[in-house]
Structure 1
Amino acid sequence: MTDPALDAEVLRERAVASLLTARERTALLTGCVDEPDLTAQHSPLMSPLVWDLAHIGNQEEQWLLRAVAGQEAIRPEIDSLYDAFEHPRTERPKLPLLSPDEARRYTADVRGRALDVLENASFHGTRLTEAGFVFGMIAQHEQQHDETMLITHQLRRGPRALTAPDPEPVPPFTGPSEVLVPGGPFTMGTSTEPWALDNERPAHRREVPPFFIDTTPVTNAAYLAFVEDGGYDDPRWWTAEGWAHVRRASLTAPLFWRREGRQWLRRRFGATEVVPPDEPVLHVCWYEADAYARWAGRRLPTEAEWEKAARYDPAGDRSRRYPWGDAEPGPEHANLGQRHLRPAPAGSYPAGASPLGVRQLIGDVWEWTASDFLPYPGFRAFPYREYSEVFFGSGYKVLRGGSFAVDPVACRGTFRNWDYPIRRQIFSGFRTARSADA
């Protein structure tokens, strides 16, 4: 029999480690630029970095200090300033935000108190604290904002502020271009992952006909063929909404790409480089991914197809936590956690492949799917409607798998991301699929 006290200590250690890892990353992202860069709005799509910093602390205070520990508010007057639903991003630079120094002091004060709460926390008794869920939720929340801040760094102009080693080079991938995923039912979602968020729940059986899926994400070289073939000028490949968006936004290539003579260049975190042909394509919107798939005679996978390709183990007729199994991600499995500042070449991380041989399903680039963001059967919002429920509908498309900018704590085989189909500043790519009978 497992010792409950031992289980509690393991959970406590995991929660502490996850919170500290997130805070180290937050400090890096906000400490590598000066105050004007922290307070500026580098794009109307994004908040000033200093808003994200104080918002992280405010969410932690509301859930760990007030909801769990019952403590009085430290700065109740700032709650509305850092309410993401009360103030759209375009308005946030005009708000009386905490200065960078004030935001750092506030978040440090909250974190010190939160660690004290965690030291004596019970991991039983309430759904919020069961298995340390609320601490995992806050660690994931901070890491999600860290990814948002990394997007802001990509959008900002000026010299490079962040550095990281490149992924290990690999030989060109020569394996099969696609993999057959057998038809039949599988278990989608989870009811047992302790830190899974509400939209990942509950586990349910889903029937999926047989299909083929790309072994690796679509590369820059493959996408460039679509560009050079006039893909952005041919309405045959686009939905009506997508074609209208291409014309309206004057899209001609992925975001941050530009052509100089016969060469394609891209801007990446303050540096300009030749577009690497073997990397997964990055910074494309759903409409672009869908148009490429049509041009290639294929389609985007549904969300259920993507998850079956990522989790289904035919030998055991079960769904794994990750493509490689149930073990937490290691550096041999996937490109996660801002360890690198770019995707790894297509075909990397063979140790992270699924049982069927599909590679790079976790990490590198978020992958657009064909599916709208909708609740699973039996969905119940928890602990607040604004995390998932208010976004359900046809206005958002689902992305899966995470990117190089996602921390492992916020990335699982069941994790669901979503965004508008026009969004390109996110670290998004895709892979294609086709029905087995097509």
Structure 2
Amino acid sequence: MYDQNWLLDLLATTRDRTLALVDSLADDQLNVPWHPGVNPPLWEMGHAAFFYEVFVLKWLDGVPSYDPSMDDLWDSFHIDHRDRWSREFFPGRDATRQYFLAIYQRIEARIRQHDLSEQELYLYRYAFYHQHMHIESMIWCRQTVGYPQPPGQVSEPEVTGESPNEDLKEDAEIPAGTWLIGMPAESQHYAREDFAFDGEKPRHEVQLEYFRIGRTLVSNREFLAFVEDGGYRRPELWSFGGRKWLETETDVALVYGEPSPVLRCPQHPLYWQYRHNQWQQRLFDQWLPLDPEAPVVHVSYWEAEAWCNWAGRRLPTEREWEVAALGNRPGEPFRRFPWGNDAPSPQHADLDATAMARQSVAALPAGDSPFGCRQMIGSVWEWTSDQFLPYDGFRVDMYPFMSTLQFGDHKVTRGGGCATSSALIRGTYRQAYLPQRNDVYTGFRTCAR
């Protein structure tokens, strides 16, 4: 039997966070400039409500659409990305908000009126977590276009650690052996702890050789040394793909206070600048002094790879990452998080768009993995060396495009980032980004070669 109050609380949290991200913007800010990595906030809101209509109300009860004439506009597979900015076809704030709240009221009423099966509960959670993915994208939209910080974000988080001590500077040693990866294939039939998307399934055993992995994320201080050593101007440090990115990439960075995009070739991470004799980093609409002990963030796979070549290191494989984070072995209790199975808290991880990766890489020791690796959940999505491919035995889930569209040309990132919802993340979760993406909250840790 499911906990109805828990489900209603999750529904309310999801609704309120989305409303806050839209309601805190002025009307002119809702029309964000076109960018390939973001969507207009109102489209994000309408799309989330449409997902509930399709995968809960229509799927379970055959309920007709709230407005059938709008269905194609909210469906990401029926409207081209560029067309989502068209003011000619889409309703404004009030009408979109009314649609969003009407669907939420229907969902809330259905939860209260039905004894839900485990399968129904799985559909609800699927829709909630889908929306939390869009909450994260609404946050990086604000970062991309230089809007003010989202509600609830902590401008100056309490720093619980300074520079890493000597123990943290040493690699964690992971012994050779047999390890468990992923979630059970039948996890869609479980209500809470075993929820997973299709890309995380099925659970399987892997044999790994001994390896060593960094206990902390690569910091701004460490990445700055690469920048100041001319790392972006040294082609021998970059792979073919990285050199192509350097040659062809023109970053479009909306600098706060500028009337139009500033075009530049990469010479440092996307939201860095050197001004007034200091390195600075843009956090939403503010330029702040670069914190040397915070994790480097907003770097592409190619930048992470080049840094590794410069430092004589390598990126972990995604299975190495999961073993270092969770340490699950056959026949032993399975842990979903580095610290165990308790839900994430602010003492464990930087999540929910509060600290925004502004804490030291030495902070949050309560979230350490069994091998002493820190901040493997939250702070930044961590690049791995692997392409995003299905596990052996993969089966498409209820939403056929959750994973399949990314197979092959995307890289795997792990662990969640500072804008990821704590309700969504777990150690088995696999995120896929194109290797050139640097507008999202990506960073990395490394392994010894």
Rounded to whole Å, the distance in 2 between the matches of 1:138 and 1:307 is: 26
* One-letter identity of the residue aligned with 1:172: S
Percent of matched pairs sharing the same residue: 33
Q: Which amino acid aligns with 1:156?
A: V
CA separation in 1, counterparts of 2:353 and 2:168?
29
Total equivalences in the alignment? 422
Alignment-derived partner of residue 207 in structure 1: 207
Which residue identity is paired with 1:302?
A: T
The answer to whether the Cα contact below 8 Å between 2:411 and 2:432 also exists between their aligned partners in 1 is yes
Displacement of 1:300 after TM fit?
0.5
SS of alignment partner, residue 408 of structure 1? coil
TM-aligned CA distance change 1:413 to 1:378, over 3 Å: same
Q: Distance in 2 between matches of 1:364 and 1:122?
A: 38
Aligned match for 2:320, one of 305, 312, 321:
305
Unmatched 5+ stretches in structure 2: 188-192, 250-264
- In 2, are the aligned partners of 1:133 and 1:194 still within 8 Å (CA)? no
Which consecutive residues of structure 1, in runs of 5 or more, have no partner in the other structure?
1-6
Of 131, 136, 145, which aligns to 1:147?
136
The answer as to whether partners of 2:180 and 2:330 remain within 8 angstroms in 1 is: no
How far the C-alpha of 1:203 sits from its partner, in A, is 0.6
Aligned match of 1:433: 447
Contact 1:50 1:103 in 2 (8 A): yes
1:59 & 1:392 partners in 2: Cα distance? 22
Q: Return the offset for 1:338.
A: 1.6
Q: What code does the residue aligned with 2:268 have?
A: A
> What pairs with 1:74-113 in structure 2 (closer than 5 Å)?
74-94=66-86, 96-113=89-106
Quick check: 1:370 aligned with 2:390? Answer: no
Measured in 2, the distance between the counterparts of 1:315 and 1:253 equals: 43
Q: Deviations over 1:214-238 (max 9, x none)?
A: 1011000000001111110111111
C-alpha distance 176-315 of structure 1, shift in aligned 2 (>3 A): farther
In the TM superposition, residue 113 of structure 1 has moved relative to its aligned partner by 0.4
Contact 2:14-2:132 at 8 Å conserved across structures: yes
Question: Structure 1 residues 160, 141: CA separation in 2 closer, same or farther (over 3 Å shift)?
Answer: closer
The 3 A distance-change label for structure 1 pair 73 and 314 is closer
Could you tell me which residue of structure 2 aligns to residue 281 of structure 1?
296
Aligned residues of 1:303 and 1:398 also touching (Cα < 8 A): yes
Q: Which residue of 1 aligns with 2:17?
A: 25
Choose 98-107 or 241-250, whichever is displaced more. Answer: 241-250
3-state DSSP class of the match of 1:152? helix
Q: Give the conservation status (yes or no) of the 8 Å contact 1:237–1:295.
A: yes
Q: Distance in 2 between matches of 1:420 and 1:107?
A: 31
* Counterpart amino acid of residue 36 in structure 1: D
**Structure 2 CA distance, aligned partners of 1:162 and 1:407?**
14
Structure 1 letter corresponding to 2:310: W
- What SS does the aligned partner of 1:409 have? coil
User: Contact 2:353/2:419 (CA < 8 Å) preserved in 1?
Assistant: yes
1:379 aligns to 2:394 (yes or no)? yes
Instruction: Determine if contact 1:42/1:156 at 8 Å carries over to the other structure.
Output: no
| Residue 167 (structure 1) aligns with | 157
After superposition, give the CA deviation of every residue in 1:157-189 in whole Å (9 maximum; x if it has no partner). 455565632332123220232101111111100
Alpha-carbon displacement from aligned partner over 1:111-139 (angstroms, at most 9, x marks no partner): 000011112334437xx42xx11111111
Superposition pairs for residues 107-146 of structure 1, below 5 Å? 107-124=100-117, 128-129=119-120, 132-146=121-135
TM-score (norm. length: structure 2): 0.90
**Counterpart residue type for residue 300 of structure 1:** L
TM-score (norm 1): 0.92
Alignment of 1:267-278 (within 5 A): 267-278=282-293
CA 1:316–1:358: 2 relative to 1, 3 Å: farther
**Aligned residues of 2:380 and 2:442 also touching (Cα < 8 A):** yes
Is structure 2 residue 36 aligned with structure 1 residue 41? no
Amino acid at match of 1:209: E
Matched residue SS, 1:398 = strand
Instruction: Check conservation: 2:410, 2:434, Cα contact below 8 A.
Output: yes
Pair 347,314 (structure 1): closer, same or farther in 2 beyond 3 Å: farther
1:55 corresponds in structure 2 to: 47
- The offset of 1:409, in angstroms, is 1.7
Q: Which moved more, 1:111-120 or 1:254-263?
A: 254-263
- Encode CA deviations 1:236-281: one digit per residue, 9 max, x unaligned: 1111011111122221111111112542111111011111100000
Question: Aligned partners of 2:208, 2:344: CA distance in 1, in Å?
Answer: 27
